[in-house]
Copies of this chain bind each other. A is one copy, B any other.
Amino acid sequence: MNDLLGQPLHVINIGIASFSEPIRAAGAGVTHLDWAPPAQGDRALGDSLARLMRHSEVEQANEQAFAAYGAASPVLEGVGIARDCLPGMQHGLILHAGPPITWERMCGPMQGAIVGALLYEGWAADAADARSMAAAGDIGFAPCHHHNAVGPMAGIVSPSMPVWIVRNAQGGNVGFSNMNEGLGKVLRFGANGPEVIERLHWMRRVLTPVLQAGLKVLGPLELKPLIAQALHMGDEVHNRNAAASGLLLKKLVPALLASGAPTADIAAVAGFIAGNDHFFLNVSMAACKAMLDAAADIRGSSMVTAMCRNGVDFAIRLSGTGQQWFTAPAPVVNGLYFPGYSIADAAPDLGDSAITETAGLGGFAMAAAPAIVKFVGGTTQDAVANTMAMTHVTLGRNSSFTLPALDFGGTPAGIDARKVVDTGILPIINTGIAHRKAGIGQIGAGVTRAPLACFTQAIAALARQVSV
């Protein structure tokens, strides 16, 4: 012991990194160990977590949920009108992204998009009228997720809007999404001017029947191979869909030309798709929804089946706790802002598009798309590191979605809420950033994290469900 005290001091510092500094300043060696107490040091939660960590019921449920997700085969079946397709869709109802929220609490872009939807539907005469109706409670609001759908950013779906129909050929469940309008002034960022409404009408009047005719010729289109191919072409099918949109167009064009649709309409549709590298995003989201719903409602499973944001709240669902939402304030994204904008202008994180990360794509497949981290100042190594970090909080790898930069290893998939709480490693999400005021549109893009509080609540709820 006396010998030990006579030796030069070398400290192992666990936890708070700043404690290393004074020791180092005093001339001693320090080895810092990055660690935080599980469950943020919450003792009751720590007990719940410990009980769930190796619980055989949870393990079996997770195995079953992950297998159902892995076996799911999303197939693009067609395009329909929301009121005809979405379960429970009705006159006077507007669907939105994220968990439930009242008109008063909604962020600017979501309110703006709802105003646009009321104008598009012809329910309101003008924007002021639309706002009065919404505030008066004349309009019903519900999450897209409550109607088997997902929508990017504001995620507004009104009864007359066209929707993608994606069926899980394995389980029979169906996922829906609205259609992508392109960039600039668009409804999903809260814009609602005449050109936005006219584009929505064109999408129903021209885009929808032309796509219907083309998809009829093409037949059901398997989406997993198409997404897998896009992952080998630099997409992660959330913030980057350039390859996937091109692959879809390549499939569609010969079918459209054989469909008998008017040539001028085909030309307009082909031009619209060719001019929008995000066109596939909504198809990707519907496919992810279909894959994850296959894993839903398995008692005891801690697998995350949805992550979404309404611009105010972030929320997740677990398989084992079914339709219940676990919410926390949505973070503001510290990303790269377009010239003239800063984080002060940003709406908090918004949209159902984190369904892609939930399915092992988007930020989880970042290694496929190093251009995305480069855009926000990172390197190719950062992209790989982001994907690898997600292996610590997931149930396995999806062998259908391989990543060239990982020597064709599968993408980490099936977020295990237990592992998130245990490690403190938060699911990474690639996202666009909307201006907090309606109608200004996208002002940046970046990488964000799901808030831990969603996962701690989910773990507490799951622990109450599972027997000791």
CA distance A371 to B232 in the complex (A): 8
Q: Is the CB of A257 within 8 A of B246?
A: no
Task: Choose, from A124-132, A264-272, A416-424, A440-448, the stretch at the interface.
Answer: A264-272
A381 to B374, CA, bound (A): 21
Cβ contacts A350-371/B at 8 Å (1 or 0 each): 0000000000000000000011
Q: Given known contacts A234-B404, A253-B253, A254-B270, what 5 new A-B pairs fall within 8 Å (CB)?
A: A233-B233, A233-B234, A246-B249, A249-B253, A258-B267
In the bound complex, what is the Cα–Cα distance between A250 and B404 (angstroms)? 25
Q: How far is the CA of A247 from the CA of B379 in the complex (A)?
A: 25
Kindly state whether residue A407 has any CB partner on chain B within 8 Å: yes
Contact B253 A242 (CB under 8 A): no
- Whether, in the assembled complex, A263 has its beta carbon less than 8 Å from a beta carbon of chain B, the answer is yes
- Which A residues from 200 to 258 make CB contacts under 8 A with B? 229, 232-234, 242-243, 246-247, 249-251, 253-254, 257-258
Could you pull out 23 A-B pairs where Cβ atoms are within 8 angstroms? Answer: A232-B234, A232-B371, A233-B233, A233-B234, A233-B243, A234-B234, A243-B246, A246-B250, A249-B249, A249-B250, A250-B274, A253-B253, A253-B270, A254-B270, A254-B274, A257-B266, A257-B270, A257-B271, A258-B267, A370-B404, A370-B405, A371-B404, A380-B405
A35 is an interface residue with CB less than 8 A from chain B: no
A341 at the interface (CB under 8 A from B): no
**A-side binding surface: helix, strand, loop or mixed?**
helix
Q: Which residue of B lies closest to A249 (CB)?
A: B250
Instruction: Give the interface size class of chain A.
Output: 20 to 34
CB of A408 closer than 8 Å to a CB of B: yes
Restricting to A254-293, which residues have a CB under 8 Å from any CB of B?
A: 254, 257-258, 263, 266-267, 270-271, 274
Q: Which of A246, A405, A406 has the most CB of B within 10 A?
A: A246
Q: How far is the CA of A247 from the CA of B407 in the complex (A)?
A: 25
Question: Do A247 and B249 form a contact, CB below 8 Å, given A263-B257, A380-B405?
Answer: no
CB pair A274–B253 under 8 Å, yes or no, is yes
- Complex CA gap A62/B270 in Å reads 46
Q: Which of A266, A270, A370 has the most chain B CB within a 10 Å cutoff?
A: A270
> 4 tightest CB-CB pairs across the interface, nearest first?
A257-B267, A233-B233, A254-B271, A246-B246
* A229: B residues at CB distance < 8 A: 242
> How many Å from the CB of A399 to the closest CB on chain B?
15
Find out whether the CB atom of B408 lies under 8 angstroms from the CB atom of A374: yes
Taking each of A371, A374, A404, which has the highest tally of chain B beta carbons within 10 Å of its own beta carbon? Answer: A404
CA gap between A237 and B371 in the complex, in Å: 19
CB distance from A374 to the nearest CB of B (A): 6
